[in-house]
Structure 1
Amino acid sequence: MLWPSSPAGRLDHRHAIWESPDDAADRFQSGVDDLAGETMIIAAHGLFMVAWLSKIGYVDSGAAAGELWTSLQFPHLLTLRI
């Protein structure tokens, strides 16, 4: 999976010490799984959220994820039914 932080959605030298997108998405999913069946309100950093949305297939990784990330406002609200 690719972080959507550059126009091409590719990791670069700035991300060398970061948690991988897959690891971040897995950790996020673990929290979602803990509350399965509940209505949830989740607040998260945009990159973290987009990595998870890509992992679950809500958005394609790479350029599509990058476009979603760059479109986010601060703050931004996404309403999802998953």
Structure 2
Amino acid sequence: MANQELLLFALNEFGNAISHDQLYIELSWLEQTANTIVVRVTGGIYVAQLNDSGLDVAKGNRFIPGIRRPIPSEIP
């Protein structure tokens, strides 16, 4: 699980800095369209958790247009 500030920090560290609004849009797409995460909002904090479908995508076992496939060295 990761909250919005941790996600924003990580994105910035990897050179993909985005706004809070853009993060909420991306999280919404991943949850509602791609069905790869579950988002909970608790006290105004967004918390994202990978679901089984998202794990399949991360491992390269499922393809969703708009999500980059992992390269072999990224797969545990």
- Output the TM-score relative to the length of structure 1: 0.27
Q: Which has the higher strand share?
A: 2
- Output the TM-score relative to the length of structure 2: 0.28
